[in-house]
Amino acid sequence: MSRDLILQGISKTYANGVTAVQGIDLTLRAGEFVCLVGESGCGKSTLLRMIGGLEPATQGSITSDGQAVTGPGLDRGMVFQDHRLFPWLTVEENIAFGCGESLSPTDKQRSVEEHLELIGLQSFRKAYPHQLSGGMKQRTSLARALAAKPQVLLMDEPFGALDALTRIHLQQELLKLWQKEKITVLLVTHDIDEAVFLADRIAVMTPRLGTFRQVLDVPLARPRNRNEEGFIGLRKTLYDQFF
Ligand SMILES: Nc1ncnc2c1ncn2[C@@H]1O[C@H](COP(=O)(O)OP(=O)(O)OP(=O)(O)O)[C@@H](O)[C@H]1O
Ligand SMILES: [Mg+2]
């Protein structure tokens, strides 16, 4: 059975007649890191929500790990631009929530410890979300999503609300986590530089049509250097498609 995430002929027309996504075919190979870039309103979040099972497609099929996607599932974790942590739970309680209900109390505690360590927030375990910086909140949100042991992590502009330096730190941390956990990642971003830094492939969406203009391979070895010729060349190729 294929562990890939397969989108076939996915379209979405909302009740108001707006077609946000049209005829999307994409296979995310297991363990691959793909970024989705495109202008505001081109259908990125709609596509991600359909993969997450948060809303149905009007046409087409989505298969994750050989199973048709018909709703949310533990195989697909989501991280959004706003952290969406529970304000009444501490960092460790938020992560414990992500573990779900199937673990014994000992295994749950072990998983919480493992994920606290993964995001480097052991000393903030008892803090509530309002006591954390923006970057710490996003790290906690990432840990909560990873605690469910998803095969696919769907991220919708997860660093969009952060300052430039925190963003670069979290990009580096995300890459380490991805390499360690061997999960598949689909990350939506407006930031071309972020996409070239992170992705194995970049899917560029066309404004208004809800289709892919291009799916590009990123043939750069990691760790990537933003000042290196290949990086700059690819960034230019992408910018030229927008401006
Ligand atoms: N619930 C909804 N009902 C009707 N139309 C919607 C709904 N959600 C999104 N749309 C429309 O679908 C299109 C795509 O929206 P979507 O949020 O997917 O874009 P996006 O690429 O994520 O944009 P941004 O980069 O600004 O987040 C837009 O025209 C939007 O107005
Ligand atoms: Mg969006």
Q: Quick one: 213 exposed, middle or buried, by C-beta within 10 A (0-12, 13-18, 19+)?
A: middle
Please give the structure tokens belonging to residue 95: 């992560």
Q: For 24-68, write each residue's pLDDT tens digit.
A: 999 999 999 999 999 999 999 999 999 999 999 999 999 998 899
- The Å distance, Cα 102 to ligand 2 centre, comes to 32
Q: Would you say 194 and 35 are in contact if contact means Cβ atoms under 8 Å apart?
A: yes
Q: Residue 15 above 90 pLDDT? A: yes
- Each domain of the chain, given as residue ranges in start order, spans 5-75+150-242, 86-149
Atom of ligand 1 nearest to the CA of 190: 25
Beta carbons within 8 Å of 52's beta carbon, 6+ residues apart: 72, 76, 78, 154
| Site residues for ligand 1, CB cut-off 6 Å | 14, 16, 18, 20, 38, 40-46
Q: For 191-232, write each residue's pLDDT tens digit.
A: 999 999 999 999 999 988 899 999 999 999 999 999 999 999
pLDDT band for position 149 (cuts 50, 70, 90): very high
- The Å distance, Cα 45 to ligand 1 centre, comes to 7
For domain 5-75+150-242, give the fold. Answer: Rossmann fold (3.40.50)
Q: For 99-118, write each residue's pLDDT tens digit.
A: 988 899 999 999 999 999 98
Mean pLDDT, the chain, whole residue set: 94
List the Cα angle 10/143/152 in 5-degree steps: 25
User: What pLDDT does 197 receive?
Assistant: 98
Distance CA 221, CA 7 (A): 27
